[in-house]
Amino acid sequence: MKQKLEAVRPRDRSWHPPAYFPDYKTSVLRSPRLPLVSFTATKSELTGPVFGHGMIRPTDNDLIVNGRVDGDPIGPRMVLCGAVLDEDGRPVPNVLIEIWQANAAGRYRHVNDGYLAPLDPNFWGVGRTLSAADGSFWFRTIRPGPYPWRNRVNDWRPSHIHVSLWGAGLAQRLITQVYFEGDPLLPHCPIFNSVPDPAARARLVAKLVMDESLPHDLLTWRIDFVLRGPRQTFFENRPEGA
Amino acid sequence: MPKETPSQTAGPYVHIGLMPGVIGIPFEPERNWNRLFRDGVQGTRIHIEGIVFDGTETPVRDAVLELWQADAQGRYPGHDTDADPAFFGFGRAAADFSTGLFVFETIKPGPVPMGDGRVQAPHCSLLIFARGINIHLHTRIYFEDEAEANARDPILALIEQENRRQTLLARRTLRDGAVVYRFDVHLQGPKETVFFDA
């Protein structure tokens, strides 16, 4: 389905983490210091790539099986589910959702991860899906472990899953991280706390949903994502401007 | 009225999710994210390459970049019904882990009508993700050999300082007969690239 944003509200930059956040040391040398140049989104920002179902294979959103070699990955089995909505609360379909995460021991399958915890031979930690007509999505995975990282002397990342969302246009582009309700590391994490407003931080925390958990199998965690854009139209057979 | 979900850094392991092939994860072995076209594409084939530099002029070697652009006639794939079917319009490139160099293989975009009579000069939208970047950076690549169109571009015109406009111009060179545009990004410092809020 071809989609185009009609317009987007201005992005509230004070709701997002500032580019310069010294507790997260790497941000110091990677943050622009001059003002952003603001303009009303043009066609170049209101359009974006159209990702079709053709690029998604059936196991792409099942991290328990997609990296399998000779068994299931180790760790607490879980589902991450929710919906993608716009700023009017309406579902956004066909959003490409890509996730990546550490394994249950807190180790990423990445050449630059030197943590001493082991890799899991049956786990890649990558998944993707498209949101459904009602905006819904789900991934089956294992709960990622916390891990230490080089920032201050004793900084640890809370358990988290990275999430990339490509909606209908460039202006909706968003990459974020999802955390887990009740994680005692959250108050200590400078990346989580780079988001200034506690109400905004709460939006990054998945909630345990016992009713949707599967007895003797897995726990279900729920998070909804909100993308910019109050207006969206579908014009599959309608030429531009008609 | 729900507000937008807050951004978080893509972190150092962004490749696992966006470009698993570059770190050897065979999640999508058929995909070549940094080539934006199939054979038969219309227009001039070009390479766009560069390095993202931090405030000490050190290459950001963990950056991942996304490019979105119109086809050779200024039409956006998937949105303009007559857009070139051999052109995807979208690509991703990872900075090289040792040099920081990123490369896109694409075509020179055409000028894009604004809908109100004005025309945007040929340009590519560029998004930058990396560890230490808390919310992705958005900039545009314009082409130095489009001086006339650039002079009339309504977005470039918003940049007050002429020397800052220069940060958005890709420099044209020829290498083994291929057209290569060089576009370096400076995250901060005297050569800081113009970043947008749109």
Query: Taking chain B, what is the end-to-end CA distance rounded to the nearest angstrom?
Result: 21
User: What mean pLDDT comes out for the span A170-182?
Assistant: 98
Assembly ipTM:
0.97
Report, as ranges of residue numbers, the positions in chain B whose pLDDT lies below 50: none
Q: Give Cα separations from A84 to A5, A87, A95, B2, B4 (angstroms).
A: 15, 10, 8, 11, 11
Beta-sheet pairing, B178-182 with B45-53: parallel
Characterize B153-191 residue by residue with b for buried, 16 or more Cβ atoms within 10 angstroms of its Cβ, and e for exposed: bebbeebeeeebbebbbbeeeeeeeebbbebbbbbbbee
Report chain B residues whose CB lies below 8 A from the CB of A25.
132
Q: Give Cα separations from A170 to A72, A174, A196, B72, B136 (angstroms).
A: 37, 9, 24, 19, 11
Would you say residue A199 has pLDDT above 50?
Answer: yes
The CA angle A86-A89-A94, to the nearest 5 degrees, is 45
Q: Give CA–CA dist A105/A59, Å, rounded.
A: 23
Among all residues of chain B, which has the CA nearest to that of A235?
A: B79
Q: Is B196 in contact with A41 (Cβ distance < 8 A)?
A: no
- Residue A67 structure tokens: 């990296």
**CB A121 within 8 Å of CB A42:** no
Q: Is B14 in contact with A100 (Cβ distance < 8 A)?
A: yes
State the residue for tokens 């999802």: A178
Q: Give CA–CA dist A1/A148, Å, rounded.
A: 43
Q: Give CA–CA dist B139/A101, Å, rounded.
A: 28
Beta-sheet pairing, A174-180 with A225-227: unpaired
What CATH homologous superfamily does B11-186 map to?
A: Aromatic compound dioxygenase (2.60.130.10)
Instruction: Determine the distance in angstroms separating the CA of B164 from the nearest CA of chain A, rounded to an integer.
Output: 11
Q: Give Cα separations from B2 to A124, A169, A216, B43, B140 (angstroms).
A: 33, 19, 35, 43, 29
Q: What contacts A240, CB < 8 A, 6 or more positions away?
A: B79, B80, B81
Query: Does residue A117 sit at the B interface (CB-CB below 8 Å)?
Result: no
pLDDT at A3: 59
Kindly calculate the radius of gyration of chain B based on its CA atoms and give it in whole angstroms: 17
User: What mean pLDDT comes out for the span A234-241?
Assistant: 42
Q: Tell me which residue in A12, A49, A124 faces B89 most closely, judged by beta carbons.
A: A49
Query: Does residue A59 sit at the B interface (CB-CB below 8 Å)?
Result: no
Query: Does residue A24 sit at the B interface (CB-CB below 8 Å)?
Result: yes
Q: Give CA–CA dist B139/B165, Å, rounded.
A: 11
The closest of B189, B43, B26, B67 to A109, measured between CA atoms, is: B26
pTM reported for the whole predicted model: 0.96
pLDDT at A231: 56
pLDDT > 90 fraction of chain B, expressed in percent and rounded: 95
The closest of A9, A38, A34 to A19, measured between CA atoms, is: A34
Q: Tell me which residue in B6, B25, B129 faces A200 most closely, judged by beta carbons.
A: B6
SS (H, E, C) A154-202: CEEECCEEEEEEECCCHHHCEEEEEEECCCCCHHHCCCHHHCCCHHHHH
pLDDT at B1: 78
pLDDT at A105: 98
Among all residues of chain A, which has the CA nearest to that of B154?
A: A39
Q: Give CA–CA dist A157/A190, Å, rounded.
A: 9
Q: For the segment A134-146, what is each residue's pLDDT rounded down to a tens digit?
A: 999 999 999 999 9
Test mutation, A47, A69, A99, A194, chain B, max B CBs within 10 A: A47
The closest of A95, A96, A118, A92 to A107, measured between CA atoms, is: A118
pLDDT > 90 fraction of chain A, expressed in percent and rounded: 89
